[in-house]
Structure 1
Amino acid sequence: MTIMHHDGYEARVDFDEEAETFHGEVINLRDVITFEGASVEELKKAFAESLDDYIAFCRERGEDPEKPYSGQFVVRTEPHLHRELATAAKRAGVSLNKMVTGILERGVTG
């Protein structure tokens, strides 16, 4: 598996050895956008064209194309954990948002 980038969009690419074809899927959207190519050059072109097609399709429908994640999401947790996080954030002198973001960053980057 490889990760490709184009205009802020990120895609996971796998190689199908039997078909000798690369398959990609945009991973930083909720919408599903896929593409494929037999070479790296074809794959890059197909990635860009699939994004262009997606944006054109959205415009035809009068919708804004989804953008890569905004950085905002809602987390639901048990009240006791919410209280413990809020208390820990106050002890540390930071906002609850900063406390949770730090925990998430450590969890993702290891």
Structure 2
Amino acid sequence: MTAIAYKGHFAHVEFDAEDEIFTGRLAGINDVVGFHADSVEALKAAFHEAVDDYIETCGKTGKAPEKPYSGQIMVRIDPAVHALAALAAQLAGKSLTKWTEERLREAAERDTAAVVTV
């Protein structure tokens, strides 16, 4: 799977070998916005069109394009991991919240570094 970006929107892209097409779907939103194409150039165009249509449709309906992230996250983890993270945060002189944010930022930046802007 590959990720691409355009106008601040991201999409997951996969190749469907059976149909010999690329398929994609906007990521990070609850609305379902998909696109497909049979070549890389056509895929880029279809992705741009999907994003532009999404933004235009939101404008026509008076709805802001989705930004579903509130800055709050609830995760359930093994108590031993929780204790270890709390200790690491304390040793670093940080709150667990700040320490966790920094670790998540590092992981997210590392894992999204390969996103292609088209």
TM-score range, shorter chain: 0.7 to 0.9
Deviations 1:11-66 (A, max 9, x none): 11111112111100112222221111111111000001011111111111111111
Under a length normalisation based on structure 2, what TM-score does the superposition of the two structures give?
Answer: 0.68
SS at match of 2:4: strand
Give the direction of change, closer, same or farther, for the CA distance of 1:59–1:107 in structure 2 (3 Å limit). Answer: closer
Q: Which has the larger radius of gyration?
A: 1
Q: Compare relative contact order (CA 8 Å, sep 6+) and give the higher one, 1 or 2.
A: 2
Q: How many residues align?
A: 107
Give the direction of change, closer, same or farther, for the CA distance of 1:106–1:65 in structure 2 (3 Å limit). Answer: closer
Greater CA drift, 22-31 or 100-109: 100-109
Gaps of 5+ in 2: 112-118
Q: Who is 1:57 aligned against?
A: 57
Under a length normalisation based on structure 1, what TM-score does the superposition of the two structures give?
Answer: 0.73
Q: Distance in 2 between matches of 1:16 and 1:77?
A: 34
Structure 1 runs of 4+ with >3 Å offset: 83-92, 102-110
Give the direction of change, closer, same or farther, for the CA distance of 1:71–1:93 in structure 2 (3 Å limit). Answer: farther
Equivalent pairs: percent with the same residue? 37
Gaps of 5+ in 1: none
Q: Using the TM superposition, give the Cα deviation of residue 105 of structure 1 relative to its aligned residue in structure 2, in angstroms.
A: 4.9
